Homo-oligomer: A and B are copies of this chain.
């Protein structure tokens, strides 16, 4: 019976959107208890409007502060001890909940996670991991921007965590692990990636080798690991290109009366494309490696998108992801010790 803490004051659209997202989930997940954290009067108002008053699946926690979107993480750590974000993390740390979901300031969320939850033993740097759509399904990519200047060992740790997530939470028997590189040949890449490839090859993971940027969307891997700088550029570049294509299509369609008619006829096909690529369906990035499940929603998430992020947290909590990662890391370390003996 998972308990999920929700930072209800986070995100661009406010508590009412978040509470409506939760309302859309209570029937689907009758065993889950949602702990809404925020200004009590705002929560009570939202709960009433969403017809959730008296629900046994809703618990309210008062927080008098909010972390601002542009607040420096160090500042949030020092000055926002009574924020909805911090209190949600504290509930997780104290074992009152099994996961936290927030649409707030990523840097502050990661900082609070590192300070108050710490990392799983054996993990140096938690990574931001999320799914991208592929031609055959989807791929988990990490790190998407939490860490720059990663060491090769960090990339190996990312791979272990990603593999455990796909195996334990998503039921893949042998998740295929790829390493984001600039060519398929072993000699290609920078020093960090070449050494990471060596570590991955000698690990017990199902490492399929280098994956180029163009292969990300082909679906040849289930998990792709990379430095946070590179991952963030890949993600943002994709978002920018998708935005430009949408812009161009819209321009084409509104250009003329012909365009407008063509648009109506074309709508179902465009909708199919939009559905496939809808980033709202993939909302919910996990801060993998923290000693507790923390899921970050996009700040601009609407009710639908935020609900998807909460579902990510529910799935991971149900399958006890943190515990599974800890076990895998211990096993990996034991393996390495045996190998070097």
Residues of A within 8 A of B (CB): 133-135, 145, 148-149, 180, 182, 189-191, 193, 212-218, 226, 228-230, 232-245, 247-249, 251-253, 255, 258-259, 261-263, 265-266, 268-270, 272-273, 276-277
Q: A171 → chain B, closest Cβ, in Å? A: 24
Query: In the docked arrangement, what's the CA distance between A276 and B255, Å?
Result: 15
Chain A interface, >50% SS class: helix
Query: Residues of B contacting A217 with CB < 8 Å?
Result: 237, 240-241, 243-244
- CB–CB A239/B213 < 8 A: yes
Query: Residues of B contacting A255 with CB < 8 Å?
Result: 269
Cβ 8 A contact of A190, one of B148, B182, B218, B237: B148
Query: In the docked arrangement, what's the CA distance between A149 and B192, Å?
Result: 9
A213-B240, A248-B273, A273-B245 known; A233+B232 contact, CB < 8 A? no
Query: Residues of B contacting A218 with CB < 8 Å?
Result: 240, 244
- CB–CB A243/B266 < 8 A: no
Query: In the docked arrangement, what's the CA distance between A214 and B242, Å?
Result: 9
- CB–CB B268/A266 < 8 A: no
A148-B190, A229-B182, A233-B182 known; A240+B216 contact, CB < 8 A? yes
The chain B residue sitting closest to A252, CB to CB, is: B269
Q: A59 → chain B, closest Cβ, in Å? A: 36
Q: A235 → chain B, closest Cβ, in Å? A: 7
- CB–CB A229/B189 < 8 A: yes
Among A134, A213, A270, max chain B CB count under 10 A is at A213
- CB–CB A253/B230 < 8 A: no
- CB–CB A269/B253 < 8 A: yes
The 5 closest A-B pairs by CB, nearest first: A213-B236, A213-B237, A214-B240, A252-B269, A148-B190
Query: Residues of B contacting A247 with CB < 8 Å?
Result: 135
Query: Residues of B contacting A261 with CB < 8 Å?
Result: 265
- CB–CB B268/A190 < 8 A: no
- CB–CB B277/A248 < 8 A: yes
- CB–CB B237/A216 < 8 A: yes
- CB–CB B269/A249 < 8 A: yes
Query: In the docked arrangement, what's the CA distance between A249 and B259, Å?
Result: 17
- CB–CB A272/B258 < 8 A: no
